[in-house]
């Protein structure tokens, strides 16, 4: 059995390793950079690089790589070996401070949304010393930020780090007003719960749709789905348990706090949750987690599907972004404490989040938009595309009394009796869990539940940090001028609740009435990515990012364009894959089955004209008609793709076309395909079925 404390972080050049391996002065200088963001002296960098290299070589490394998060949605790496030729024709292993701090990958093949012309291909990566270097697959990985040579941001880490700076600065200002002079830094923290599917590799390899798009494009429902609710928290099967054990160990080695694992609602669906950490680290760790999941699955003859909706008709996968704010003195600013109604500081931070979420609903929706996630939002499994907040009955009562200017009477009912003597009474969770809310207060943090399983969590956290930074800035501006701070705070909280309470909804978000109610309240309901992207570039959003130095206007427009283009490309690939499957596999398979039926009928007839052939004839008739229909739909989809080419050059219009036209044709084609699947003998059907895929592990 693994000795967990011993293996934990064994592949990470972490604080412990730095202390052991760096001269004291170097360690101290590096700490200054890590903690205060001071520039790293090249002499210090040289010593650090050399120590890292020696350590990495002991772990079996021959290469190093700058690891970054471009806007492709996956991480990127380019490996260089440590070798350096010597005069006598041999090599020595070297790694300089310069190589550690800065890399120069060719940036021209990464999406930039038109920011960087290809002739200006140069980009550079810069070490982010707040995220530790680590060893994986024989290489030393250095977490880096990625920019163009002219300084435009080309990645997700840079704006995330900037947004963390911004919220820290503004929160420190506010805390000063509460007399918290010892707070010098505020960090946001995140614990992302990750859902995924595990399916058998051999079956996966027989499905072009899974291979090319990560989701099934055809597939009739299996007789059994998730209706018995027997999978959620059910006992974990041996093959899955072996995978999970291996996965935990690999993650622990990388210093990732993998903590909780369980089965999820859909068959073959599971979840992993880490202990929360600083947002920047949580983001790097979540990217690594997704990668390691896929590698470990492969070793077990499995495939880990991270797509948001791999199977129609069963739940898709999401990611819950648990987010909070805490100080360098260890205080969680979203912890209501024992008496939330007397905790002005908590109420003010809560008000900042409420105001931010209301004013920037569109940005939060934008931050979780992807072609894959569009399948989930609004279906009865994920929160709807409408952003609202859940704060629970008790906090709601506190806010109500503040708004009305009445004293608050804490309820006496919140002590829960378990009814069993051996179990202690415990205070009922004051935020009685509401599973349907997209943005729920859960005790001392907010849980943003709209993220798709494959998403890089940087984007939603950039938005959260920035919008709350903006509200705290406004609050600090106002309160710094106040003569009577105490009454000014209460006034401000009251005013904020009054103006922004429409964003709070404690009821069932899955109910149809909520959609109508939300419309009455004037809340946005941006159902698809193209709709959401239109809001992204609204002036108030561009201004917000410019004011906080997160993105320039050009960078915001570029990001929007990249999202739109990516969306169109994904649907295009899906459509092409469907056509390929339809024409090369499904049509011939059904046709062959029809032929078999015809031959059977003829054979029967040749024996004796009195033998009935009605079954065969009916099926031949039915399937032939469906085949014709299927063939027509193939043609319609092909034509839709031809027309799509006309929209090239207008990313918004193009994405809308894919969303409204191409996608609709795909669904029509699928419907007939799935119908034929249920009538075709399984020997003839060219693919493993939903039943095979979902119930074989």
| Residues contributing to the site for ligand ADP (CB under 6 A) | 189-191, 193, 273-276, 320, 322-324, 332, 444-445
For residues 232 and 647, which CB has a smaller minimum distance to ligand ADP in the complex?
232
Element (H, E) at 308: none
CB of 442 to Mg ion, least distance (A): 8
For residues 290 and 654, which CB has a smaller minimum distance to ligand ADP in the complex?
290
For residues 186 and 312, which CB has a smaller minimum distance to ligand ADP in the complex?
186
Question: Length of the chain in residues, anyone?
Answer: 697
If one asks whether residue 270 binds Mg ion (CB under 5 A), the answer comes out as no
CB of 583 to ligand ADP, least distance (A): 44
CB of 273 to Mg ion, least distance (A): 8
For residues 195 and 471, which CB has a smaller minimum distance to ligand ADP in the complex?
195
Q: What are the distances in angstroms from CA 256 to CA 194, 340, 341, 400?
A: 13, 33, 37, 41
Beta bridge partners, 390, equal 440
| Binding residues for Mg ion restricted to 613-632, rule: CB under 5 A | none
Query: Nearest-CA neighbor of 473 among 162, 174, 178?
Result: 174
Q: Which does 278 bind (CB under 5 to 8 A by kind): ligand ADP, Mg ion, none?
A: none
Number of Cβ atoms within 10 Å of the Cβ of 134: 25
Give how many residues touch Mg ion by CB under 5 A: 2
For residues 67 and 441, which CB has a smaller minimum distance to ligand ADP in the complex?
441
CB of 324 to ligand ADP, least distance (A): 3
Contact between 506 and 393 (Cβ < 8 Å): yes
For residues 320 and 559, which CB has a smaller minimum distance to Mg ion in the complex?
320
3 state SS of 64: strand
Residues whose CB falls within 8 Å of the CB of residue 259, separated by 6 or more in sequence, listed in order: 273, 274, 275
Q: Which does 445 bind (CB under 5 to 8 A by kind): Mg ion, ligand ADP, none?
A: ligand ADP
If one asks whether residue 319 binds Mg ion (CB under 5 A), the answer comes out as no
CB of 162 to ligand ADP, least distance (A): 20
For residues 335 and 668, which CB has a smaller minimum distance to ligand ADP in the complex?
335
Number of Cβ atoms within 10 Å of the Cβ of 84: 12
For residues 193 and 661, which CB has a smaller minimum distance to ligand ADP in the complex?
193
Q: Which does 332 bind (CB under 5 to 8 A by kind): ligand ADP, Mg ion, none?
A: ligand ADP
CB of 442 to ligand ADP, least distance (A): 7
Cα–Cα dist 273/262, whole Å: 9
Q: Which does 139 bind (CB under 5 to 8 A by kind): Mg ion, ligand ADP, none?
A: none
For residues 156 and 320, which CB has a smaller minimum distance to Mg ion in the complex?
320
Return the residue nearest ligand ADP (CB atom).
191
Residue with tokens 């984007």: 459
Residues whose CB falls within 8 Å of the CB of residue 207, separated by 6 or more in sequence, listed in order: 216, 687, 688, 693
Q: Which does 444 bind (CB under 5 to 8 A by kind): ligand ADP, Mg ion, none?
A: ligand ADP
State the alpha helices, DSSP H only, in 441-484: 458-480
Compute the C-alpha angle 685/688/693, nearest 5°.
Answer: 155
Q: Which does 95 bind (CB under 5 to 8 A by kind): ligand ADP, Mg ion, none?
A: none
CB of 273 to ligand ADP, least distance (A): 4
553, two tokens: 């206007």
Q: Which does 189 bind (CB under 5 to 8 A by kind): ligand ADP, Mg ion, none?
A: ligand ADP
Secondary structure of 595-653 as H, E, C letters: HHHHHHHHHHHHHCCCCCCHHHHHHHHHHHHHHHHHHHHHHHHHHHHHHHHHHCCCHHH
With contacts defined by CB under 5 A, name the span among 130-138, 319-327, 372-380, 627-635 that binds Mg ion.
Answer: 319-327
585, two tokens: 């596999």
Q: Which does 191 bind (CB under 5 to 8 A by kind): ligand ADP, Mg ion, none?
A: ligand ADP
Residues whose CB falls within 8 Å of the CB of residue 23, separated by 6 or more in sequence, listed in order: 47
| Binding residues for Mg ion restricted to 163-202, rule: CB under 5 A | 193
Q: Which does 274 bind (CB under 5 to 8 A by kind): Mg ion, ligand ADP, none?
A: ligand ADP
Residue with tokens 């201004």: 543
For residues 252 and 276, which CB has a smaller minimum distance to ligand ADP in the complex?
276
For residues 30 and 272, which CB has a smaller minimum distance to ligand ADP in the complex?
272
CB of 692 to Mg ion, least distance (A): 30
CB of 553 to ligand ADP, least distance (A): 32
Return the residue nearest Mg ion (CB atom).
320
For residues 132 and 276, which CB has a smaller minimum distance to ligand ADP in the complex?
276
CB of 452 to ligand ADP, least distance (A): 17
For residues 275 and 573, which CB has a smaller minimum distance to ligand ADP in the complex?
275
Cα–Cα dist 370/327, whole Å: 33
252: buried, middle or exposed (CB in 10 Å: 19+, 13-18, 0-12)?
buried
For residues 300 and 320, which CB has a smaller minimum distance to Mg ion in the complex?
320
CB of 463 to Mg ion, least distance (A): 19
192, two tokens: 């992302």
244, two tokens: 């999970």
With contacts defined by CB under 5 A, name the span among 8-16, 223-231, 313-321, 563-571 that binds Mg ion.
Answer: 313-321
Beta bridge partners, 142, equal 66
If one asks whether residue 320 binds Mg ion (CB under 5 A), the answer comes out as yes
Q: Which does 64 bind (CB under 5 to 8 A by kind): ligand ADP, Mg ion, none?
A: none
Contact between 66 and 104 (Cβ < 8 Å): no
Contacts 24+ apart (CB under 8 A), 220-225: 220/674, 220/675, 220/677, 220/678, 220/689, 220/690, 221/312, 221/313, 221/674, 221/690, 222/689, 222/690, 222/691, 222/694, 222/695, 223/691, 224/267, 224/691, 224/695, 225/266, 225/267, 225/313, 225/314, 225/694
CB of 391 to ligand ADP, least distance (A): 16
CB of 429 to Mg ion, least distance (A): 13
Q: Which does 340 bind (CB under 5 to 8 A by kind): Mg ion, ligand ADP, none?
A: none
For residues 9 and 274, which CB has a smaller minimum distance to ligand ADP in the complex?
274
Q: Which does 567 bind (CB under 5 to 8 A by kind): ligand ADP, Mg ion, none?
A: none
CB of 658 to Mg ion, least distance (A): 32
Euclidean distance between the first and the last CA atom of the chain, given in angstroms as a whole number: 25
Cα–Cα dist 365/527, whole Å: 9
422, two tokens: 């051996």
CB of 288 to ligand ADP, least distance (A): 15
Residues forming contacts to Mg ion in the complex (CB under 5 A) are: 193, 320
């Amino acid at each position: 059995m693994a000795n967990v404390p011993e293996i934990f972080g064994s592949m990470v050049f972490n604080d412990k390793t730095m202390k052991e391996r760096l001269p004291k002065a170097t360690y101290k200088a590096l700490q200054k950079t890590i903690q205060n963001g001071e520039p790293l002296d090249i002499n210090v960098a040289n010593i650090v690089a050399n120590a890292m290299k020696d350590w990495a070589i002991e772990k079996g490394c021959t290469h190093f790589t700058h690891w970054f998060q471009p806007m492709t949605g996956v991480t990127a790496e380019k490996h260089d070996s440590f070798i350096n030729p010597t005069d006598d024709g041999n090599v020595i292993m070297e790694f300089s401070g310069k190589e550690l701090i800065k890399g120069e990958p060719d940036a021209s093949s990464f999406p930039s949304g038109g920011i960087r012309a290809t002739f200006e291909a140069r980009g550079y990566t810069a070490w982010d010393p707040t995220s530790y270097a680590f060893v994986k697959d024989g290489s030393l990985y250095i977490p880096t930020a990625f920019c163009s040579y002219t300084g435009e941001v080309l990645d997700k880490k840079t704006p995330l780090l900037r947004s963390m700076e911004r919220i820290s600065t503004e929160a420190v200002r506010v805390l000063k007003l509460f007399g918290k002079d010892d707070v010098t830094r505020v960090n946001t923290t995140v614990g992302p719960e990750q859902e995924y599917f595990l399916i058998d590799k051999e079956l996966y390899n027989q499905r072009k749709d899974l291979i090319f798009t990560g989701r099934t494009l055809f597939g009739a429902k299996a007789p059994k789905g998730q209706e018995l609710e027997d999978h959620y928290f059910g006992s974990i099967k041996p093959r899955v348990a072996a995978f999970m054990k291996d996965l935990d160990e690999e993650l622990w080695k990388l210093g990732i706090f993998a903590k909780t694992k369980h089965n999820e609602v859909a068959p073959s669906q599971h979840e992993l949750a880490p202990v929360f950490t600083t947002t920047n680290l949580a983001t790097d760790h979540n990217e690594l987690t997704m990668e390691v999941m896929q590698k470990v699955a492969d070793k077990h003859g499995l495939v880990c599907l991270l797509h948001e909706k791999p199977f129609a008709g069963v739940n898709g996968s999401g990611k819950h972004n648990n987010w909070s704010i805490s100080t360098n003195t260890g205080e969680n600013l979203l912890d209501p404490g024992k008496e939330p109604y007397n905790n002005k500081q908590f109420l003010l931070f809560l008000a900042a989040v409420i105001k931010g979420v209301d004013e920037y609903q569109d940005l939060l929706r934008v931050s979780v938009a992807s072609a894959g996630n569009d399948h989930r939002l609004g279906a009865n499994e994920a929160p709807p595309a409408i952003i609202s907040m859940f704060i629970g009955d008790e906090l709601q009562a506190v806010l109500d009394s503040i708004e009305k200017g009445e004293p608050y009477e804490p309820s006496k009912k919140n002590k829960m009796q378990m009814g069993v003597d051996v179990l202690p009474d415990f205070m009922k969770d004051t935020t009685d869990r509401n599973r349907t809310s997209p943005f729920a207060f859960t005790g001392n943090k907010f849980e943003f539940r709209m993220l798709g399983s494959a998403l890089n969590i940087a984007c939603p956290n950039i938005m959260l940090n920035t919008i709350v930074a903006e509200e705290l800035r406004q609050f600090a501006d106002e309160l710094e001028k106040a003569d009577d701070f105490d009454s000014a705070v209460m006034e401000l909280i009251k005013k904020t609740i009054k103006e922004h309470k429409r964003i709070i909804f404690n009821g069932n978000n899955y109910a149809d009435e909520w959609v109508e109610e939300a419309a009455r309240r004037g809340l946005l309901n941006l159902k698809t990515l193209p709709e959401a992207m239109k809001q992204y570039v609204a002036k108030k959003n561009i201004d917000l990012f410019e004011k906080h130095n997160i993105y320039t206007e050009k960078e915001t427009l570029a990001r929007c364009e990249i999202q739109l283009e990516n969306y169109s490309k994904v649907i295009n690939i899906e459509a092409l894959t469907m056509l390929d499957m339809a024409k090369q596999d499904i049509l011939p398979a059904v046709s062959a089955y029809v032929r078999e039926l015809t031959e059977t009928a003829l054979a029967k007839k040749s024996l004796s004209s009195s033998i009935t052939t009605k079954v065969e004839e009916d099926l031949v008739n039915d399937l032939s008609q469906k085949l014709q229909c299927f063939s027509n739909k193939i043609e319609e989809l092909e034509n839709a793709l031809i027309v799509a080419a006309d929209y090239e050059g207008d990313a918004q219009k193009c994405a809308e076309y894919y969303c409204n036209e191409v996608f609709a044709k795909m669904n029509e084609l699928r419907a007939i395909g799935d119908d034929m699947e249920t009538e075709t003998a399984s020997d003839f059907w060219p693919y493993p079925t939903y039943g095979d895929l979902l119930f074989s592990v």
